Amino acid sequence: MLRDLQGSWQPGEILGLLGPNGSGKSTLLRILAGLLPYRGSIQFENRELSGQTAAWRASRLSYLPQQLGFEQPFTAAEVVMMGQFHRLDRWGGGGSPELVSRCLERVGAAHLAGRAVTRLSGGELQRVRLAQALAQDARAWLLDEPTSAMDLHQQLELLDLFRELREQGKSLLIVLHDLNLARRLCSQVWVMDSGRVLARGNPDKVFASPQFEKIFQVKMEVFWDEKGDSVLWPKKLTHLESSDTL
Amino acid sequence: MRSWLLLGGLALLGLVTLGLCSGSYSLSLSQVWNVLLQGPGESPENVVVWQLRLPRLLQAILVGACLSTAGAAFQSLLRSPLADPYLTGTSAGASLGTALAVVLGLNYGLYPVCAFAGALGAVLLVTRLARIRQGVRLEDFLLAGVMVSTLLGSLVSLLMVLAGRELSRLVFFLLGNLSGSNWLLLGWCLAPFVLGTGLLVWNAYPLNLLSLGEDLAAPAGVAVERVKLQVLLAATLLTASAVASSGLVGFVGLVIPHLCRLWVGPDMRKLLPLALVWGGVFLLGCDWLTRLAPQELPVGVVTALVGAPWFLWQLQRERKC
């Protein structure tokens, strides 16, 4: 259940969504993706979301859920082709196979094209779903912990992909747990707890705020290196420091 | 996929020829050909071919195709290889309809009508029970299907006790058989068959996306609720018309789509035509076997007897690959 939610997010902006487990981040994404009903108003390009057709939404919002498992042995290329669904004819024809291979290549998954998605690892699945979202080519992306199944190298490549999308004027809404990743990527973060957004704004300001420390029960320390880069280091709050403890 | 479809077509042709020629009144190929060219008439050969064998063969193909495509649709929609056309309460509803007809002493010709009404009623009830504000949740649908089936099944048992002398008729119907086929029944079956398969084929590609989960299908642009409803309606129509005309023929709707999926993969655009043809082949073959026995067997018994070992053999072979 989400309450008193208000805010906006612009083309070419990457918005980070943070918060403890169960705070409502994924729920917010599912509502925006059209998978859950809502009361109130959500507008995209000045149109109310709930009144639009599935095809209209698909060309504007793509969604990558956290759970990625597949039960049907379609090939990766077939799954990526499904991303173009809103542009295909009724029988699934008229799609571009070149686009499919280009998208798979972009995420380094060209070699997976003919493989059944039921036999892929978590990281491979994640890349196939990203390729699918690339093929869908929506104006805004909703991503639920996209880095969770990926190794470090893949995470960095993902950051490059997201920046590239931002350059193209796409809007990204990303649920993240890694604060340093959020600082490197997002121009704005929202921090949620119990279904409300309790803090928002520039990541560095938000992470240093008392609300943030209270929600996560952590104290932030910042370390600087000689080049002027900084790293956030969260520490557990002790009983004495904390205003209301467990 | 083409070769499997071609093979199925050839098998259909072969089995139809075999079915027209063989039986207690043997006919040669040229006799059958002549009779077919003559059109319906009065001679004994003519009556055997036009009134007895041809409608029965077509009925077998139609019922096999109905059950198999409905099974393919349910398995894809519910994302479960164990789904079969009967789990939505259609079989129990149809049985109850027929049992009522038997107990009330209605005319034999009205049995299919009662069966159809029962099947449709059961599915409407199941859909109503599983319906929530947003649409139909598939888990609830399964659960409601099982519950309604159990409830209606116990009512059938109750009626069986009350049926007394008419019991054997009811049992024969419940076991599934094609011996009652005629042109009228075939005509009855045809409309739901065309409508049902048409709706399924229309939804084949969206169903592909839906079989990967609603979380994928809806944001990709599939009108999820509409597709679900149309597919449920289509599969139900197909099942109900099969049950109403031939009783409960088990196994076809479970196994044939499964086998076809092993052959061509999960794409419904390939799976549906293949399931349609091979469902027909399978039931036609099984029906031919029932006629070989000294005393005519219910086809439902043969489908399971033949189908289970064949299926297990295929599964074993697939594992080895």
**Angle CA A66–A67–A70, to nearest 5:** 140
What pLDDT sits at residue B240? 84
The domain limits of chain B are 2-320
Query: Mutate which of B132, B209, B212, B264 to disrupt the A interface (most A C-beta within 10 Å)?
Result: B212
Task: Compare CB distances from B205 to A54, A62, A90 and report the shortest one's residue.
Answer: A90
Q: Specify the DSSP element, H or E, that contains A215.
A: helix A210-216
Rounded to a whole number, what is the distance in Å from the CA of B299 to chain A's nearest CA? 32
Instruction: Indicate yes or no: CB of A71 within 8 angstroms of CB of B79.
Output: yes
Rounded to a whole number, what is the distance in Å from the CA of B273 to chain A's nearest CA? 14
Instruction: Indicate yes or no: CB of B221 within 8 angstroms of CB of A55.
Output: yes
* CA atoms of A59 and A174, how far apart (whole Å): 18
Instruction: Indicate yes or no: CB of A35 within 8 angstroms of CB of B209.
Output: no
Confidence check: pLDDT of A124 > 50? yes
Confidence check: pLDDT of A189 > 70? yes
Confidence check: pLDDT of A239 > 60? no
Task: Compare CB distances from B218 to A37, A54, A132 and report the shortest one's residue.
Answer: A54
* C-alpha A38 chain-centroid distance: 20
Interface of B with A (CB under 8 A): 76, 79, 133-134, 202, 204-206, 208-209, 211-216, 218-224, 265-267, 269
Instruction: Indicate yes or no: CB of A57 within 8 angstroms of CB of B267.
Output: no
The domain limits of chain A are 14-201
Instruction: Indicate yes or no: CB of B133 within 8 angstroms of CB of A37.
Output: yes
**Angle CA A36–A41–A44, to nearest 5:** 85
Collect all residues of chain A within an 8 Å Cβ-Cβ radius of residue B266: 72-74
| B275 close to B71: Cβ distance less than 8 angstroms | yes
Collect all residues of chain A within an 8 Å Cβ-Cβ radius of residue B212: 70-72, 74, 79, 82
Collect all residues of chain B within an 8 Å Cβ-Cβ radius of residue A90: 202, 205
Collect all residues of chain B within an 8 Å Cβ-Cβ radius of residue A88: 205
Q: What is the pLDDT of residues A69-119, one digit of tens each?
A: 788 899 999 999 999 999 999 888 888 999 999 999 999 999 999 999 999
Confidence check: pLDDT of A245 > 70? no
Amino acid, res. B24: S
**Which pair of tokens denotes residue A111?**
């070699």
Instruction: Indicate yes or no: CB of B220 within 8 angstroms of CB of A35.
Output: no
Collect all residues of chain A within an 8 Å Cβ-Cβ radius of residue B82: none
| A34 close to A57: Cβ distance less than 8 angstroms | yes
Rounded to a whole number, what is the distance in Å from the CA of B222 to chain A's nearest CA? 6
Enter the CATH code of domain B2-320: 1.10.3470.10
CB atoms near residue A170 (< 10 Å)? 19
Beta pairing partners, B111: none
Query: Mutate which of A26, A72, A144 to disrupt the B interface (most B C-beta within 10 Å)?
Result: A72
Beta pairing partners, A18: A191
* CA atoms of B85 and B252, how far apart (whole Å): 9
pLDDT mean across residues, chain A:
88
What pLDDT sits at residue A208? 84
Give the residue carrying structure tokens 């295929």. Answer: B314
Instruction: Indicate yes or no: CB of A58 within 8 angstroms of CB of B221.
Output: yes
Q: What is the pLDDT of residues A4-14, one digit of tens each?
A: 788 888 889 99
Instruction: Indicate yes or no: CB of B212 within 8 angstroms of CB of A71.
Output: yes
Phi, psi dihedrals of residue B281, rounded to the nearest 5°: -60, -50
Q: Hey, what's the torsion of the CAs at A21, A50, A165, A181, to 10 degrees? A: -10
Q: With CA atoms as reference, report the closest residue to A144 among A13, A7, A40, A33.
A: A33
* C-alpha A161 chain-centroid distance: 12
* CA atoms of A15 and B213, how far apart (whole Å): 27
* CA atoms of B90 and B94, how far apart (whole Å): 6
Collect all residues of chain B within an 8 Å Cβ-Cβ radius of residue A76: none
pTM: 0.87
What pLDDT sits at residue A110? 94
What pLDDT sits at residue B227? 93
Instruction: Indicate yes or no: CB of B212 within 8 angstroms of CB of A79.
Output: yes
A14-201 classified as CATH 3.40.50.300: yes
What pLDDT sits at residue A246? 45
Confidence check: pLDDT of A58 > 60? yes
* CA atoms of A28 and B273, how far apart (whole Å): 41
A137 — contact with chain B (CB < 8 Å)? no
Give the residue carrying structure tokens 């686009």. Answer: A99
Mark residue B134 as left, alpha or beta (left: phi above 0; alpha: psi -120 to 50; beta: remaining).
alpha
Q: Hey, what's the torsion of the CAs at B149, B151, B157, B163, to 10 degrees? A: -100
pLDDT mean across residues, chain B:
86
Question: Parallel, antiparallel, or unpaired for β B135-136 and B131-132?
Answer: antiparallel
Kindly state the DSSP code that residue A46 receives in the 8-state scheme: T
Phi, psi dihedrals of residue A199, rounded to the nearest 5°: -145, 145
What is the average per-residue pLDDT within A208-223? 84
Rounded to a whole number, what is the distance in Å from the CA of A188 to chain B's nearest CA? 25
Size of interface A-B (CB pairs under 8 A): 78
**Which pair of tokens denotes residue A89?**
């004819």
Spans of chain B below 70 pLDDT:
132-136, 318, 321
pLDDT class for A237, splitting at 50, 70, 90? confident
What pLDDT sits at residue B135? 61
* CA atoms of B31 and B26, how far apart (whole Å): 10
Half-sphere exposure of residue B270, counting CA atoms within 13 Å on the CB side? 17
Question: Strand ranges (DSSP E) for A56-139?
Answer: 61-64
Query: Measured between alpha carbons, how far is residue A99 from residues A62, A106, A136, B53 in Å?
Result: 17, 10, 10, 54
